[in-house]
Amino acid sequence: MAPAAFPNSGMSITSRAKASRAGFAPLIPLDRRGAKPLYRQIYDWFQQAIVSGELPPGRRMPSTRSLASALGISRISVLNAFEQLHAEGYLQGRVGSGTYVADTIPEHFPHAPAGSPGPAKRHNTSRRVSHTVEALLALPRPQFLQTAAPFRTSQAALDQFPVETWSRLVARHARKASIAMMSYGDPMGYPPLREAIAEYLRASRAVDCEPRQVMVVTGSQQALQLTALALLNRNDPVWMEEPGYRGARQVFLMAGVRRIPVPLDREGLSVEEGIRRAPDARAVYVTPSHQYPMGMTMSAARRMQLLNWAARSGAWIIEDDYDSEYRFDSRPIASLQGLNHGEGTIYIGTFSKVLFPALRTGYLVIPDHLTPAFAAVRDAIDIFSPTLHQAALADFIHDGHFARHIRKMRMLYMERRLLLAGELQRQLGDEVEVVSAEAGMHLVALLPPGVPDVAVSAAAARIGIATMPLSASYETPPARGGLILGYGATDARQIREGVEKLAGCIREQSWYSRAAD
Ligand SMILES: Cc1ncc(COP(=O)(O)O)c(C=O)c1O
């Protein structure tokens, strides 16, 4: 609300205020039928006039009686507004001589001219964001659709989730929420959930762990961030799979470590090449069960080689086991962590793919001697994860719903994967090459050499298809582009129609790149 002219004078506040030492009764435009109470409108008007400098420090305020009568409203509204301005330090009273704008208000408060956007919307070029944010914003951000469109990656079949069972469990815990459940919790997590996770990981993933080593976190993203904070220093060299998971790259960028891209071959990350590039790396980030995004499983020989190097050099292994529940050709692959009994390995898992991402729940398995370090970092960041959902999740696992859901989803994803691979073959033949393993919720289709994947993704996005360009997973652009195609939340009809649309985009871009040659 901009300060208005004085009644009967046509003068601005400043000119009238300068002219009069006896206070004034400005015409405040009031909206008598609006939702905002009258006292609040009066308060806002004066607060704005004081902050903007229109009413300078020491200026006398009108009497509440005269202002109320000039505005034709009850004195109570004016009194309430003045009381609030007093309480916040905008006004001061001088005994026997009325109310004044407080002397303590600085004369030169940087304010926006009336009518200009508020402080939050203005840009001040002399104020800088951190170097970390500048670097984060500089990461390539491909134009792919972020909505729940066909082939969106990292999206589970959320329509298949047993919502009723889940909401019953949440409601049960919400209804009987005890004092303990409502107060601060353990940075390591809710004990029954940690027990349920440890049991599941021992049985299904051959992870060597006890509940005391499990920390419940808000998704793998936080697990990675805690790991970086607990174990790494700025400029520490860290091996990263190339191509690899963009979320991990973001975390290591924020941690200021030196990311060392290490290429892959058919057996997974090339340890030999890693040693050649940075033999003294402090850590390695790997997705050995199902490499993201290429999908290969790290071979047994390569696992031994990696563990041997890490043991010799004292490097940490950060194992991201994000979707290995879904293997279609064999039983889930045993974790790398279990192979060396957790020595020097931080194991990370998530419920984002097996349940739903908005749960924001994942877990870390931490070597025993490091749990105080991780708990201290967690305490400093956000203390602990919300207890209500942890309690519901503990029951969901304990009562068998979790295992049942995984079994059902494994069948569904297997069918969708088969259909997608078949449709790609049927509609595009040799024009694309499917490279991923029989696992997970996405596959990679390599494009014809020379066809830019970012352009294909952008063209697909324009017609409602959400592919992720493979090159976005690289530190340095690859020789051959591809598309990461999620099929978790893409049903049979969408797969058939989506591949047809994609084929159109790929052929169109192939034509452009041939024409440009
Ligand atoms: C390699 C990898 N790790 C982890 C995640 C899951 O992250 P979050 O648990 O933070 O949702 C994803 C999801 O796409 C992923 O691709």
Q: Is the pLDDT of residue 45 over 70?
A: yes
123 Cβ contact partners less than 8 Å away, ≥ 6 residues apart:
none
Assess contact for 296 and 266: CB atoms under 8 A: yes
Q: Is the pLDDT of residue 7 over 70?
A: no
pLDDT band at 145 (very low <50, low <70, confident <90, very high): low
**Best probe residue, ligand 1, of 350, 436, 443 (max atoms within 8 Å of C-beta):** 350
Reduced to 3 states (helix: H, G, I; strand: E, B; else coil), residue 452 is: coil
Closest Cα to atom 7 of ligand 1? 220
pLDDT band at 113 (very low <50, low <70, confident <90, very high): low
Measured between alpha carbons, how far is residue 228 from residues 136, 208, 378, 424, 435 in Å?
Answer: 16, 22, 12, 39, 31
Candidate ranges 6-15, 102-111, 158-167; pick with highest mean pLDDT: 158-167
Q: Is the pLDDT of residue 123 over 90?
A: no
* Cis amide linkage into residue 243, ω under 30° from 0: yes
**Best probe residue, ligand 1, of 152, 217, 222, 245 (max atoms within 8 Å of C-beta):** 245
Q: What is the mean pLDDT of residues 17-46?
A: 80
Assess contact for 487 and 420: CB atoms under 8 A: yes
Cα 511 to ligand 1 centroid, rounded to whole Å: 35
Reduced to 3 states (helix: H, G, I; strand: E, B; else coil), residue 91 is: strand
Measured between alpha carbons, how far is residue 281 from residues 94, 109, 374 in Å?
Answer: 69, 51, 21
Assess contact for 437 and 116: CB atoms under 8 A: no
Q: Is the pLDDT of residue 3 over 50?
A: no
Candidate ranges 44-53, 104-113, 139-148; pick with highest mean pLDDT: 44-53
**Best probe residue, ligand 1, of 152, 153, 154 (max atoms within 8 Å of C-beta):** 154
Q: What is the pLDDT of residues 175-208, one digit of tens each?
A: 988 998 999 999 999 999 999 999 999 999 999 9
Closest Cα to atom 13 of ligand 1? 154
Task: Give the amino acid at 472.
Answer: A
Q: Provide, rounded to the nearest whole percent, the portion of the chain with pLDDT above 70.
A: 91
292 Cβ contact partners less than 8 Å away, ≥ 6 residues apart:
241, 244, 245, 320, 322, 473
Q: Supply 172's token pair.
A: 């049960």
Closest ligand 1 atom to the C-alpha of 350? 9
Q: Is the pLDDT of residue 88 over 70?
A: yes
Assess contact for 153 and 468: CB atoms under 8 A: yes
Q: What is the mean pLDDT of residues 210-237?
A: 98
Q: Is the pLDDT of residue 122 over 90?
A: no
CA–CA separation, 491 vs 99, rounded Å? 70
Closest ligand 1 atom to the C-alpha of 357? 11
Closest ligand 1 atom to the C-alpha of 154? 14
Closest Cα to atom 12 of ligand 1? 322
DSSP state of 210: -
- CA atoms within 13 A of residue 103's CA, in its CB half-sphere: 2
pLDDT band at 15 (very low <50, low <70, confident <90, very high): very low
Q: What is the mean pLDDT of residues 164-178?
A: 95
Cα 58 to ligand 1 centroid, rounded to whole Å: 59
Measured between alpha carbons, how far is residue 509 from residues 115, 151, 404 in Å?
Answer: 48, 19, 43
- pTM value is 0.84
CA–CA separation, 474 vs 468, rounded Å? 12
**Best probe residue, ligand 1, of 220, 289, 292, 356 (max atoms within 8 Å of C-beta):** 220
CA–CA separation, 92 vs 58, rounded Å? 9
513 Cβ contact partners less than 8 Å away, ≥ 6 residues apart:
450, 451, 452
Closest Cα to atom 6 of ligand 1? 220
Q: What is the pLDDT of residues 380-412, one digit of tens each?
A: 999 999 999 999 999 999 999 999 999 999 999
To which H or E segment does residue 183 belong? none
CA–CA separation, 113 vs 102, rounded Å? 21
Q: Helices (H), strands (E): how many in the chain?
A: 18, 14
Cα 351 to ligand 1 centroid, rounded to whole Å: 9
Residues with CB under 6 A from ligand 1: 154, 219-221, 245, 247, 287, 292, 320, 322, 350, 352, 357, 362
**Residue 16 confidence (pLDDT):** 39
In the β-sheet with 442-446, what is the strand arrangement from edge to edge?
433-434, 442-446, 482-486, 468-469
383 Cβ contact partners less than 8 Å away, ≥ 6 residues apart:
184, 185, 187
Candidate ranges 93-97, 223-227, 327-331, 336-340; pick with highest mean pLDDT: 223-227
Q: Which of 288, 293, 284, 240 is nearest to 267 (CA)?
A: 288
Q: What is the mean pLDDT of residues 259-273?
A: 97
Residues counted in the chain = 517
Cα 326 to ligand 1 centroid, rounded to whole Å: 14
Closest ligand 1 atom to the C-alpha of 292? 1
Lowest mean pLDDT among 68-82, 114-128, 229-243, 426-440: 114-128
Lowest mean pLDDT among 109-113, 303-307, 444-448: 109-113
**Residue 17 confidence (pLDDT):** 40
**Residue 489 confidence (pLDDT):** 95
